[in-house]
Amino acid sequence: MSDSSDTVTAALCIIGNEILSGRVQDANLAFLGQGLNEVGVQLREVRVVPDIEDEIVAAVNALRARYTYVFTTGGIGPTHDDITPESVAKAFGRRAVHHPVAYARLEEWYRNNDREFTEARKRMTLMPEGAELVDNAVSIAPGFRVENVFVMAGVPQIMRAMFEAAKPLLRGGKTVRSRTIGTRVVEGVLAGPLGEIQKRFPHSDIGSYPYYGAPGGNGVNLVVRSTDPADLDAAGDAIVAMIRDLGGDVLDDVRG
């Protein structure tokens, strides 16, 4: 799909040594990609960076200059390796300070629950000076926004709550729709004519995704993605005709 003036884009920066080591599997990417598309924002890039300040600063600065929005996940907790707030502050050339509203909110919560508001817990209120809070309905500690960068928790349940709070702040564009067409015709046979169809429909993305070991045998899902319903229909119809011309059957034709 080619970019246009009404295309709104985003990038995700996943922060954490635990993701890179394989100890923890990221569970936020699929949710965020789907959630953004629902509001007309296209997720275009994902980076995974370690808990190293310079790496986080470089990634945030590169992504925020290129995309309409940037979302980060991870590194906003109370432990020593939760350095995302300070790193984002450095990326924007701002001081990292205790956000007064977040500080008051957490201080009251811990007091009302007869728990000590320790220095470690106070770290959860550190944010770049001037940041806007992004609340969540799961826990008391908020995320935050600085210009076009949204900083959210890595814990999936909390991240999802923060994203719901961030949604009203997003300016959406056109939503990407998809059409998935299944066949048993193998990729080696499909490749040439499928490439010609892609040339005919440059404003659609066409992908080929083989699968193996299914109950009915191996097959290929051909997926068309476009913001233009007419283009989606035409490209999908061309794929259906191609499969039949090759002597194959269309197993399914699903729109999403």
End-to-end CA distance of the chain: give it in Å, rounded. Answer: 17
Distance CA 133, CA 76 (A): 13
In this structure, are residues 164 and 124 in contact, taking their beta carbons and an 8 Å threshold?
no
Q: Which residues, in sequence order, are bridge partners of residue 180?
A: 223, 254
Q: What angle do CA 139, 143, 145 make, to 5 degrees?
A: 155
Q: Which H or E run includes 164? A: helix 156-166
The pTM for the full model equals 0.82
Distance CA 108, CA 118 (A): 13
Question: Can you tell me which residue has the tokens 């399914």?
Answer: 252
Nearest residue to 82 (alpha-carbon basis) of 33, 143, 148: 143
Half-sphere exposure of 154 (CA within 13 A, CB side): 21
In terms of phi and psi (left: phi > 0; alpha: psi -120 to 50; beta: otherwise), the region of 146 is beta
Tens place of pLDDT for every residue, the chain, 256 residues? 555 557 899 999 999 999 999 999 999 999 999 999 999 999 999 999 999 999 999 999 999 999 999 999 999 999 999 999 999 999 999 999 999 999 999 999 999 999 999 999 999 999 999 999 999 989 889 999 999 999 999 999 999 999 999 999 999 888 889 999 999 999 999 999 999 999 999 999 999 999 998 888 899 999 999 989 999 999 999 999 999 999 999 999 999 8
Nearby residues of 31 by Cβ (< 8 Å), 6 or more positions away: 156, 159, 160, 163
Which DSSP letter does residue 40 get?
T
Domains of the chain: 9-169 (3.40.980.10), 177-255 (3.30.70.260)
